[in-house]
Amino acid sequence: MGEDVADIKVFPLYSTLPVNQQAKLFESRPPDNASGSRGRKVIVSTNIAETSITFSILLTLLLDGIAFVVDPGFSKLKVYNPRIRVESLLISSISKANAQQRAGRAGRTGPGKCFRLFTEKAYQSEMQDFVYPEILRSNLGSVILNMKKLGIDDLIHFDFVDPPSPQSLFSAMETLNYLAAINDDGDLTELGSMMAEFPLDPQLAKMVIASCEYNCSNEILSICCMLTVPQVFVRPAEARRAADESKIQFAHLDGDHLTLLNVYHAFKQHGDSPQWCYENFINFRSVQSADGIRQQLSRIMDRFSLPRRSCDFTSKDYYTNIRKALVAGFFMQTAHKEKSGHYLTIKDQQVVQLHPSTCLDHKPDWVLYNEFVVTAKNYVRTTTDIKVDWVVEIAPAYFQSENLPNCEAKRILEKVRAKLIARGRLKA
């Protein structure tokens, strides 16, 4: 930037930032130069710097004070789409309250300014006063399951502080019905009562309980807890190639869920070592948190006398059983590869692609996914290769012909259903 301008240090800040990189935030700013130009330290942050009390205090007290804030006017929010039944991270405009909170980060210990990258007109006339309440943009499955457990059956007339839309309620009820958590009359089933005791999304709870039938509850517990924590793979900008090479050692041919299982097993085999995590580009805090969650879920399983066991590792059914247990919970999140080469979600007909971070080195005909990501393109993330026979056999009600849109996948599913009926593996 020229000899007259002092040096500048730039650091990222986000919730899953590894501890060793967090330490860099507290380095002193570069010294002023001979001409009197001040050295600058710049923090490029997600909205954690806006919302987290801990981080805001640390930033204010330890980072030489914050003199300037640049507010782009956007943030990423998790929004649940009841039509396609997935949560997506969407870039959306912030509210006026968010803007004021961000501006308040400047000038705590001295003079400061906030530069907003949007107009005053946009602030006054286009921004909401407050962000939409979380219940209006969340999956209501767990909420309804717990309300049913408490004996609250009249959901439509329940006095919510911020009433969710009828579509969101009906979609959640339909999902719980397909998961066998409630019956056709809307009453809680024995399975649903058990699912409500797990501090998990209903699909994850169903997956954990169903895993007992497939003799792989130990493995599914590990996968489940790895799905509930922030991203376990670290990919720093200065070492992306090394991080990608390190990830390959954990990669499983059948997909990302089994890759996460490999990571957890390796973490335990190396004595929960932070150093091992650092050397292998694994987020120690995430896997440590996953281990704690696993212990909690194990205690709940023991309370209900659900067996915690593993299939013989040398058995050809070891990984097959794990993938079937995944389907038992996530059969509603499946996609089929069309003849054109792109993937189409089964019921909602969303055109999607496998996320670039996937460990799959091929494009299976059928995949199960954990997350739907909306950017310039639609991606499905954390995917696993599955067999079409499994989805029909495990969730026959969901894949009834009359419930499916007319597409290539429907014709395949109809043929598979007829084959399974002929073999006596499925009732007509």
| Contact indicator for 205, 198 with CB cutoff of 8 Å | yes
pLDDT at 61: 47
pLDDT of 57 over the 70 cut: no
If one looks up domain 8-136 in CATH, what number appears? 3.40.50.300
- Among 30-44, 167-181, 333-347, 362-376, which stretch is predicted with the lowest mean pLDDT? 30-44
Q: Where are the beta strands (DSSP E) in 289-377?
A: 334-337, 343-345, 351-354, 366-374
Looking at every residue in the chain, the average pLDDT score rounds to 88
Task: In whole angstroms, give the CA distance from residue 243 to residue 281.
Answer: 6
Write out the two tokens for 106.
């400047």
Question: Which segments of the chain belong to CATH 3.40.50.300?
Answer: 8-136
Alpha-carbon dihedral 105, 110, 115, 121, rounded to 10 degrees: 80
Task: In whole angstroms, give the CA distance from residue 188 to residue 194.
Answer: 10
Write out the two tokens for 94.
């912030």
Q: Which helix (H) or strand (E) holds 74?
A: strand 74-81
Question: Which segments of the chain belong to CATH 1.20.120?
Answer: 198-310
Question: Which segments of the chain belong to CATH 1.10.10?
Answer: 142-196
- Residues sharing a CB contact under 8 Å with residue 395, sequence separation 6 or more, in sequence order: 178, 327, 328, 331, 332
Q: What percent of the chain has pLDDT over 70?
A: 95
Task: In whole angstroms, give the CA distance from residue 51 to residue 55.
Answer: 8
Kindly state the average pLDDT of the residues 116-123: 94
| Contact indicator for 84, 60 with CB cutoff of 8 Å | no
Residues linked to residue 89 through DSSP beta bridges, in sequence order: 78
The residue written with tokens 């439509």 in the block is 156
- Among 49-63, 213-227, 349-363, which stretch is predicted with the lowest mean pLDDT? 49-63
Task: In whole angstroms, give the CA distance from residue 182 to residue 173.
Answer: 8
Task: In whole angstroms, give the CA distance from residue 386 to residue 401.
Answer: 20
Kindly state the average pLDDT of the residues 260-281: 95
User: CB-hemisphere CA count at 13 Å for 372?
Assistant: 23
Task: In whole angstroms, give the CA distance from residue 317 to residue 58.
Answer: 51
- Among 50-64, 257-271, 317-331, 376-390, which stretch is predicted with the lowest mean pLDDT? 50-64
Write out the two tokens for 214.
């497939």
If one looks up domain 142-196 in CATH, what number appears? 1.10.10
Instruction: Give the chain's length.
Output: 428
Hey, is 408 helix, strand or coil? helix
Kindly state the average pLDDT of the residues 306-319: 92
Comparing 103 with 88, which gets the higher pLDDT? 103
As a whole number of Å, the end-to-end CA separation of the chain is: 74
Contacts 24+ apart (CB under 8 A), 192-200: 192/145, 192/148, 192/149, 193/149, 194/304, 195/145, 196/145, 196/146, 196/148, 196/149, 197/300, 197/303, 197/304, 198/297, 198/300, 199/296, 200/142, 200/224, 200/228, 200/297
String of b and e for 130-169 (b: at least 16 CB within 10 Å)?
A: ebeeeebbbbbbbbbbebbeeeeeebeeeeeeeebeeebb
pLDDT of 65 over the 80 cut: no
Q: Which CATH class is domain 198-310?
A: mainly alpha
- Residues sharing a CB contact under 8 Å with residue 122, sequence separation 6 or more, in sequence order: 73
The residue written with tokens 């120690």 in the block is 284
- Among 53-67, 177-191, 274-288, which stretch is predicted with the lowest mean pLDDT? 53-67
What is the residue type of 28?
A: S
String of b and e for 227-237 (b: at least 16 CB within 10 Å)?
A: bbbeebbbeee
Hey, is 286 helix, strand or coil? helix
pLDDT at 54: 56
